Structure 1
Amino acid sequence: MRKTEEIVRQFHESWDLRDPERSVAVIAEDCQFEDVARSERQIGPDGYRMDYERWRKAFPDGEVKVTNVIVDGDRAVVEFVNRGTHTGPLQSSLGTFEPTGRRQEPRYCSVMRVKDGKVVEGRDYYDATTIARQLGLLD
């Protein structure tokens, strides 16, 4: 169980280190990762890099703080807070959102599976409406 926790922590905590390759090191080539709120999939390390760059461009001061990790064998649930100031364009399947200069601090939950030392699947759950409100995109 300890190994699974170390891997999922490395995956998430690399954001604060501004080191996407540290996350890539624990992502399987065929990893299927889904952003449930946006109905988007990131496949493997290249999908992760694209998603990392998109969010880092929109929130260059962004940080992720893991608040809880629950492990059961090869599966883990990771709760975290994602903070940052929206100073760059945010591109998504929902459109491009121009910078608002406002901070966002939503809570997230990732459900992940690890096999042979790599993340092979995952899903991020969060409330997109909370982000939109914090950024001033909704009343």
Structure 2
Amino acid sequence: MGEARALLEQNTKSWNAHDSAAWVGSFRPDAELAGPGVSGSAADLADTFWSIWQDAFPDNEVHVVGIFEDGATGILQAEFHGTQTGPMNAPGQTIPATGRRVTLPFVLVNRFDDGGRTTHFTLYFDRAELLEQLGVLPVPG
């Protein structure tokens, strides 16, 4: 098992334990974060990213499907599970609590420095699928 794998496993444990200090603290202040509708530095976005998901889905859990690594780069393939009982204050829109449970597949690409802190965090997920599961976007067909 390599270092990137171990760091992704630890970050996932911190997320699932709802330990904001550990999860947010794993980022270097100059780390770059990117995902659907969000990009910038960790100094500006790590707390915001945490709040978007943890406030909207307080019972959430990440289920790991696979972890892959190449040197200082780790890739997490996982599913996000949670019930939206709070507002989701996403960039550009707030989605009021729907009470719906979601299962959202995602891929996360992280790069780490020599000290084990995140330098790049890029999240990929299907935003339309999330909105469909929340009942905000009609299901096609």
Per the TM superposition, whether the score is higher than 0.5 is yes
Question: Residue 94 and residue 46 in structure 1: after superposition, are their counterparts in 2 closer, same or farther (change >3 A)?
Answer: closer
* Runs of 5+ unmatched residues, structure 2: none
Maintained 8 Å contact 1:24/1:45: no
Q: Which residue of 2 aligns with 1:71?
A: 69
Q: Which residue of 2 aligns with 1:104?
A: 102
Greater alpha carbon shift after TM alignment, 44-53 vs 89-98: 44-53
* Runs of 5+ unmatched residues, structure 1: none
Greater alpha carbon shift after TM alignment, 75-84 vs 42-51: 42-51
1:21 is paired with a residue of what secondary structure? Answer: helix
Q: TM-score, normalised by structure 1?
A: 0.90
The 1-side partners of 2:134 and 2:24 are apart by: 29
Q: Which residue of 2 aligns with 1:88?
A: 86
Maintained 8 Å contact 2:24/2:50: no
Q: Which residue of 2 aligns with 1:128?
A: 127
* Aligned-residue RMSD, C-alpha: 1.5
Moved over 3 A (4+): none
1:137 is paired with a residue of what secondary structure? Answer: coil
The 2-side partners of 1:45 and 1:20 are apart by: 14
Q: Percent identity?
A: 28
Residue 45 of structure 1, CA deviation: 5.2
Q: What is the aligned residue count?
A: 137
Greater alpha carbon shift after TM alignment, 87-96 vs 45-54: 45-54
Residue 44 of structure 1, CA deviation: 2.1
Read off the aligned partner of 2:128 and give its amino acid letter: T
* Cα offsets for 1:40-92 (capped at 9, x unmatched): 12522552122212211111111111211100111111111101111111111
Read off the aligned partner of 2:58 and give its amino acid letter: P
Q: Which residue of 2 aligns with 1:49?
A: 47
The 1-side partners of 2:64 and 2:43 are apart by: 21
Residue 102 of structure 1, CA deviation: 0.5
Residue 25 of structure 1, CA deviation: 3.4
Read off the aligned partner of 1:14 and give its amino acid letter: S
